Amino acid sequence: MRKELLIALTVVLAGCTVPSFGGSDHPATPTGDDAIGYESGYWYDDSVSVTTGDGLNETEREAVVARTMARVEQVRDLEFKEPVPVSVISRAEYQNRSGGNNSGGSSRPQDPWNDQVWEALLLIGEDSGSSDEIDDTLSTTVQGYYSPSEDEIVIVSPTETPQIDRRTLSHELVHALQDQHFGLNGSAETQDTQLSRQGVTEGEANYVRILYERQCGDGWGCIAFPDQTSDGGGNDGGDGDSQEPSYNEGLFTVLYQPYVTGPRFVDQVRSDGGWDAVDALHDDFPDSTEQVLHPEKYPDEEPVNVSVADRSSDEWSRFDHDPVGDTVGETSIYAMMYHNGQTEGDRYSYESEISAGWGGDLVVPYRNGSGGYGYVWETRWDTEEDASEFAQAYRAALTEEHDAGQPRSNVYVVPEESQFNDAFRVVRSGKTVRIVNGPTVNNLDEIHQPAG
Of 290, 71, 296, which is closest to residue 169 (Cα–Cα)? Answer: 71
Paired sense of beta strands 86-89 and 152-156, if any? parallel
Strands (E) across 16-57 are located at 38-39, 42-43
pLDDT value at position 442?
Answer: 97
String of DSSP letters for 367-420: EETTS-EEEEEEEEESSHHHHHHHHHHHHHIIIIIH--EEEETTEEE--TTSTT
Query: In DSSP terms, which residues pair with 363 in a beta bridge?
Result: 326, 377
Select from 106, 269, 63, 72 the least CA-distant residue to 181: 72
The helix (run of H) or strand (run of E) holding residue 175 is helix 166-181
Which of 398, 379, 378 is CA-nearest to residue 448? 378
Give the pLDDT confidence of 390-435 residue by residue, as tens digits: 999 999 999 999 999 999 999 999 999 999 999 999 999 999 999 9
Under 8 Å between Cβ of 367 and 112: yes
* pLDDT tens digits along 364-385: 999 999 999 999 999 999 999 9
Q: Is residue 102 predicted with pLDDT exceeding 60?
A: no
Beta strands in 115-198 (DSSP E): 142-147, 152-156
C-alpha distance from residue 183 to each of 100, 285, 286 (Å)? 28, 13, 17
Contact by Cβ (8 Å): 64, 50: yes
What average pLDDT does range 68-82 have in this prediction? Answer: 97
Check the CA dihedral 370-371-372-378 and report its sign.
Answer: positive
Q: Among candidates 247, 251, 249, which has minimal Cα distance to 100?
A: 247
Please give the Cα distance from 111 to 113 (Å, whole number).
5
Flag whether pLDDT at 292 surpasses 70. Answer: yes
Torsions phi, psi for 316 (to 5 deg):
-120, 145
Q: For residue 1, what pLDDT band results from cuts at 50, 70 and 90?
A: low
User: Dihedral sign, CA of 401, 402, 403, 406?
Assistant: negative
Quote the pLDDT of residue 7. 44
The packing angle between helices 58-76 and 166-181, to 10°, is: 60
| Chain-centre distance for alpha carbon 168 | 16
CA atoms within 13 A on the CB side of 363: 24
Q: Decide if pLDDT at 107 tops 70.
A: no
Q: What is the mean pLDDT of residues 105-111?
A: 62
Transcribe 372-383 into DSSP letters.
-EEEEEEEEESS
Q: What is the pTM of this model?
A: 0.91
